[in-house]
Amino acid sequence: MFCSCLGKQAPYSENDSQEDPSEGFGPSKLGVRTTVDEPLSASQAIEVLQAGNRRFVQGDAKAGGFDQRARRALASRGQRPVATVIGCADSRCPVEQLFDARPGDIFVLRTAGNTCTHAEGSMVGSVEYSVAVLETKMILVLGHTGCGAIMGATKLFLERSAQKYIEATCQKDAQETTDQSTEGSESDKSRSTLLGLLDALVPVAEQACVSLERAAALRRSQRTP
Is 147 annotated for ligand binding? yes
Asked whether residue 105 is marked as a ligand-binding residue, the answer is no
170 is in an annotated binding site: no
In the 8-state DSSP scheme, what is residue 11? Answer: P
68 close to 9: Cβ distance less than 8 angstroms: yes
Question: Which is it for strands 139-142 and 106-111: parallel, antiparallel or unpaired?
Answer: unpaired
Q: Which residues pair with 81 in a beta bridge?
A: none
Residue 67 is labelled as binding a ligand = no
Q: What is the largest CA-CA distance in the chain?
A: 74
The CB density around residue 17, as the number of other CB atoms within 10 Å, is: 17
Closest CA to 157 of 217, 218, 120, 210: 210
d(CA 5, CA 53): 31
H or E stretch covering 29:
none
* Residues placed in the known binding site for Zn(2+): 88, 90, 144, 147
* Residues placed in the known binding site: 88, 90, 144, 147
